[in-house]
Every structure is written in structure tokens, then in C-alpha cells.
Structure 1
Amino acid sequence: MTNIVIVEDDIFLREELQSILQKEGYSVVSISSFDTPVEEIIAANPALVVLDLNLPNLSGFQICRTLKEKGIGPILILTARDQLKDELHALELGADDFLTKPCHPKRLIARVQKLEQLYAKLPILLTWGAFQYDAKTHVLYVGNDSLSLSENEGIIMKLLIKHAPAVVKKEQLFAELWGSSEFVDENILQVNMTRLRKTLDKVGMSHHIKTVRGIGYQLVGSE
């Protein structure tokens, strides 16, 4: 089931959008706090983001740019701003589609389905510094070199790139790798990190993974 994240500060419209999408069988997460919206969106692991532009703290333009830099997409802009310059700017920042409010529910669903179909055929490339990771094939590109990662190595690398330069907590890694940490020995995470570092050693890039003692791991170094 596709996971859609709604980023809309109007509570009534947010609930309406959630209802429309859920009736079509989508799993929906709504962002209702806008202190750290980018982090909340990434944590929700969206397959698609419905994003307003007029938001408190960070504008939708800023959020769109940051999400695209972290390989999050597709992004469907849904906004009351109907100026051509706003649409062009959003598209320049990486937005995949642009709709103005009010929007007929059938038009919204049609655009969501179109983006789903389009992205199903595209590689999912996440980029950070010299790293470029294809989440579909588990291949990591470093400059002119490429490395085939195991599934677990790929999951770890995906999280590190998506959250970079922030720290990925151990709990997040356990949740993505094994569902939870309840019945998993913490040493197994260290084993998986060691394997990933050994893989990155082949291209001299293992030093970019930093251990934050007692908390987790992060990508460091110049982007």
C-alpha cells in the first residue's frame, strides 16, 4: 500500500485530503507540527508527498528543495497560489506536479496515480557528496566506481543518506532492518555496520561513516 504524506497546515483541508486518499486505499500520514517538517516527512518514509506552499516556519519551496536533495519523491504541490511564477519556481526546485486549490478529488487522485506509475519505472537515486545510491538495485555509485550492496547494507546506506548530516539513531536502524530492537542483539547492528564499512573500504570511503557513541551513526565529510 502506497504511503502518502500530506503537508498542509489547514486542519480541515488536511482531514479532507486524508479522507479522499484513504478512500482510494492509500495509507496516509499527515504532518500537523511544523517545527521540524522535513525530518517528520522523511521519518514517515513517503512514497509520495502532497505539499502546500504557504506553511509556517519553512515554506513549501524550502521543504521541496530539501526533500529532493535527499531523494524524496514524487512531490505533488497543492496550493492556493495560482501565479505562473510560483508554479515554475516549484518545478525548478524539483516538484513533480502542481495543482491549485480548490482541486476536484478525482483530479487529485488522477495526478497521484500518474506519478505512481511514472516513478515505478524510474531508478530511485539518493545523493550525498560523492555517494549516489540506487535504492531499487542496491548499487552504490562513488565517482566512477560502483559497489553492489547487500540488502541490509543498502537499508543502512539509504537511511544515512536520507538523514545526512543528521545522526541516524540506532532505534531507527533496528526498526528498518528488523522491525524493532526487542528481540535483536545490539551486536548484530555493529556487525552490519562493520560489513558496510568494509565494502566502502574498497573505494576508500569508509571514513565518511561516523559512530556517535551511544546514539547512532552519521555521514560526515564535505558534501
Structure 2
Amino acid sequence: MTEYEPTQEQFEQDVANWGMETLLDTGLYRHLRFRMSSGGFRWFDIVTWPGKLVITGDCETYTFARLEDMFEFFRSSGRSINPGYWQEKICDGSDRARDFDWDRFCAEALAEFDSATANETDEERRATARRDLEDELDEADPDKFGAIQFLRNYQYRPDGYQEPAYFWFDLSESPPDGEGWNYHYIWCCRAIAWAIEQYDAQKVKAP
């Protein structure tokens, strides 16, 4: 199973001493608050009405829309989370679920080089080419636009090397993009699954 950051273990440590307060629970209209049982400033709310679920508080705010009862939608995954599918249901800016990281981009670029040159028999030439790529990455603008420009422009062609270049990035395939799940989005996904679990457990206990 794919692991995401924060991990389930990390999330459970965050909420180990948290409890649930029911502010509203009328059919599909719910307002649940989660925070440390002893008080404190960290908290998040889950609010639902027909067709919508909002998570907000000391985390990002996301609004999801899919089924009339959004608890049913998220409950179908149990404790597991499905960031990609759930992202499609965000209706207040789904692009916020992912972000760009320059270090991730550099690691992906070097990994693509390693894969593309795996059959190179001249190890000295391969090592020199890799150092060139590392040096050029160090000099590039460390942001998403810089990454795009780098992919478009980078070629390594050692002295005397004929066409085509020894290495370049094939933009027609799946080039490095440095994109990954936003940490706070994953935290919110875990929080929703956990919150519904707490809600269901309290319902079972109710007389």
C-alpha cells in the first residue's frame, strides 16, 4: 500500500489525546469539532450538509462534493485514504492538494538520467555527464518555472560528441515535474477518515 506523508502513524501521534465535540448532528447536517481533550489551541472542524463536506481549522480548508451523504463517500475507504480520487472531488481549488519541491525535482531529474544511461559502457563519460547535470541543476532557478525551463533547454554534448546529444529530457514522455502531495492535504485526508471513525464509534456507544 502506498504510504504518504504524514504517515498514518505520525497522524495518530498528532491526535492521540484529541476528542470529539458534537455541535450539530441532524441528519446530513453535522458540525463536529476535534481538539485535545485537555483544551489547547489546535483543532479542526468537520461540517457537512447535503452533497458537501468541509474540513477547516488548524489545517488547510477543503470542500469536497460527491454524494448526498459525504460521510458515506469517505467511509467507503475505511481508514485508508485515496488522495488522487479524493482530489477530484475538491471544489474549492483542487490544485492546492499538490505542490512543487525543487529537491524532489532534482532527485527525479537525476533518476531519469540514471535510467537513461544505465547501459552506458563508458563509466567515466557517464560520471562526467552526471556531474554536469548536477552542476547545471545547482545553477538553475529553484522554482517550478525554473524547472520547466531547465527541462526544455538542458542537453549534454561533450566535446567531439556527435548528434544527437548524449543526454536530454524527452518531454513527450513523463518528464520530472517535482510535484507531490501537499503535506497538509494528506493530513486533512487522514483527519477526515479518522473523524468519521470517531463519529461512528460514538454512535455505536449511544443508547
Q: TM-score, normalised on structure 2?
A: 0.25
Larger of the two Rg values belongs to structure: 2
Q: TM-score, normalised on structure 1?
A: 0.24
